[in-house]
Structure 1
């Protein structure tokens, strides 16, 4: 029997659809995952095996093959645990395979069958909204997913309660959108005494979204002035706040689905590598430039940054 479950692969700030195909066929007992999966995805079979064992379920003594389609698209991350487990349970007849076709699933499995958070749920929710299907995600990220749209969100704390919800014997509560916070800035221009020319330059830079180069001796107030800049910028619009939250979701720094209307302020140390500044790596992560999107990127001691000067 072959079962299908939908999930996503993250490519920067884009979520691309992936189909998890599970085949349980006669043969020597073996559990294979194919489809250009990285080490984290390859280790998923051990987490799935342990999670099912904690629920009192054992893998069938057959040849189990998981294919992540399209097979030429790299698959990275631990959020494939949940869709792999659901596809396997559907192939075993534990849950309804047709019902799972109405959802996209993302989430990491703990060894005791808890569904724990994984980065990028907001992107998966936006993709589910575009495809007009529901989303299955960890309960801790339900408020984050609810920001995408009004598509059905099934935020489950563990695999057992998710299966009971799908069978209709238990109902999981609908998650509520996270809070929209407008916090007072950490630094305010009223803290700066004098420096009228510098404050005027800040106002011009804020009004026109210009870059600003500050030159002066140590202790002149350059860092304080830079930290005051977000305070004179207008709050993020709802669309801009969603853009910033998408970057934070991929970076794994969006806590409790709490979306902020404040402009981000990033001040990396001058010893930061080029990858830390611009992002990248085998598993692409946003760098300081991306995390400062629609906000302020303050490069203190600019000549000390490698590759910039």
Structure 2
């Protein structure tokens, strides 16, 4: 081995040792912070985990083999891993959260016997494998909350929810003050999207079989019922909504509802709106399939 090759090997070994050392130290720090965060939750929440690692390049903390049990929960919920990109807890309330919870195992029996039986009839007998993404930022100076959440269940469907709330009182501590503040909080923007993997299609097929109809005939029946409800209801949904719902019935893949009001709308204004059409106009709702 030449002198240059020896130096190169030495540098590589040194970098490998340095990387391993930094990773171990960072993982220890991440574990210490995790233990502190769990301790803040007190005895009401039980959180157990296998190991914690920290990636110095992505700056992500990975927590593996996690179980969580909250108040009134009969059994814990298990997850393969939690990837924490950002978690700022300068106060008892998190101000910034960005994480993925992957491989959550949910037993249908946790929803009750009747719900479990209905899901089994649809072909969902075993546990659901779910992934959850949460990105949330509390912009205290702007009195805003920005949130992005995705819940995805394998072979079932996924639900995405994005919203921006304004006029929030982050200083409220007492429950009654928080509840009062919710009425004054305003919706600035929101979007909800459901993407079907098989749940809606299975429900349609099951209901069609119960009525002795083939699937196209059942879907036509549903579309006719939507038209009838529009004609007979004293507080009907807008025609555009009915059309989008009919498209979703025909091809249940994705349904998106978005709100883009010209000015923030408080929850109190929504309560006073009176009719579905008034709410739709107030929020400038749009629905697509």
Could you say which TM-score interval applies, normalised by the shorter chain? under 0.3
The TM-score with structure 1 as length reference comes to 0.22
- In proportion to residue count, which structure has more strand? 2
The TM-score with structure 2 as length reference comes to 0.23
- In proportion to residue count, which structure has more helix? 2
Q: Which has the larger radius of gyration?
A: 2
